[in-house]
């Protein structure tokens, strides 16, 4: 473990960002992601209690031509619970605003999506007890505990966030 890993875990101690983590997340949401970096995005979802739109940074992993989001801190994170309460409706901002529908990824694909996520999201590595060279079985075991969402087009009947 490096000092960076220790710092990253400290920022999200208890599965939630501390004050500095929240500040860094707020700053990251407002950073432009250029055309060369299509991994960084901000996700906007309606808060399940307040109804206010909440924005936070995410890393988008591409796998077999599709986009995926991984909740590196597990299923008890606020953004996962907000997405579930919103029926999967959210807005993804990657240079432009896009209404999206988040659905659980196919279970058979989740280990490979998680492997890809760790390749493109170095900040997630301290939170996921694997390295990129771990066995397929190890990835499958960890993927069962992490929400992995497929980013699809919003259904026309859904109102935007």
Q: What is the CATH number of the domain that holds 53?
A: 2.30.110.10
Helix and strand totals (H; E) in the chain:
5, 7
Q: Does residue 89 sit within a domain?
A: yes
Q: Looking at the domain assignment, is residue 161 inside a domain?
A: no
Give a yes or no: residue 87 inside a domain: yes
What secondary structure letter does DSSP report for 148?
E
- The rounded distance, in Å, linking the Cα atoms of 31 and 42 is 9
The string of DSSP letters for 37-85 reads: --SEEEEEEE-TTT--EEEEEEEPEEETTEEEEE-TT-TTSHHHHHHHH
Q: Does any domain span residue 159?
A: no
Higher pLDDT, 36 or 120: 120
Residue 31: φ, ψ to 5°:
-75, 135
Domain contains 30? yes
pLDDT in tens, 16-27: 666 766 565 555
Domain range for residue 123?
3-153
**pLDDT tens for each residue of 25-59:** 555 544 544 444 568 899 999 999 999 999 988 99
Whether residue 160 lies inside any domain: the answer is no
Domain count, the chain: 1
Report angle CA 92, 78, 152 to the nearest 5 degrees.
30
Q: Residues 66-97: pLDDT tens digits?
A: 999 999 988 888 899 999 999 999 999 988 99
Q: Give the Cβ contact number of residue 161 at 10 Å.
A: 19
Q: pTM to 2 decimals?
A: 0.77
């Amino acid at each position: 473990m490096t000092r960076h890993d220790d710092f990253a875990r400290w920022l999200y101690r208890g599965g939630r960002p501390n004050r500095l983590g929240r500040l860094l997340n707020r700053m990251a949401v407002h950073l432009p992601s250029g055309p060369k970096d299509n991994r960084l995005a901000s996700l906007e979802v309606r808060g399940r209690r307040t109804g206010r739109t909440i924005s936070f940074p995410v890393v988008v992993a591409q796998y077999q031509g599709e986009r995926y989001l991984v909740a590196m801190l597990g299923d008890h994170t606020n953004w996962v619970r907000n997405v579930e309460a919103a029926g999967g409706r959210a807005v993804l901002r990657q240079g432009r605003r896009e209404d999206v529908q988040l659905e659980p990824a196919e279970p058979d694909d989740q280990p490979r999506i998680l492997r890809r996520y760790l390749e493109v999201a170095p900040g997630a590595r301290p939170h996921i007890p694997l390295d990129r060279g771990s066995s397929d079985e190890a990835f499958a075991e960890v993927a069962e505990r992490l929400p992995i969402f497929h980013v699809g087009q919003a259904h026309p009947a859904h109102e935007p966030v």
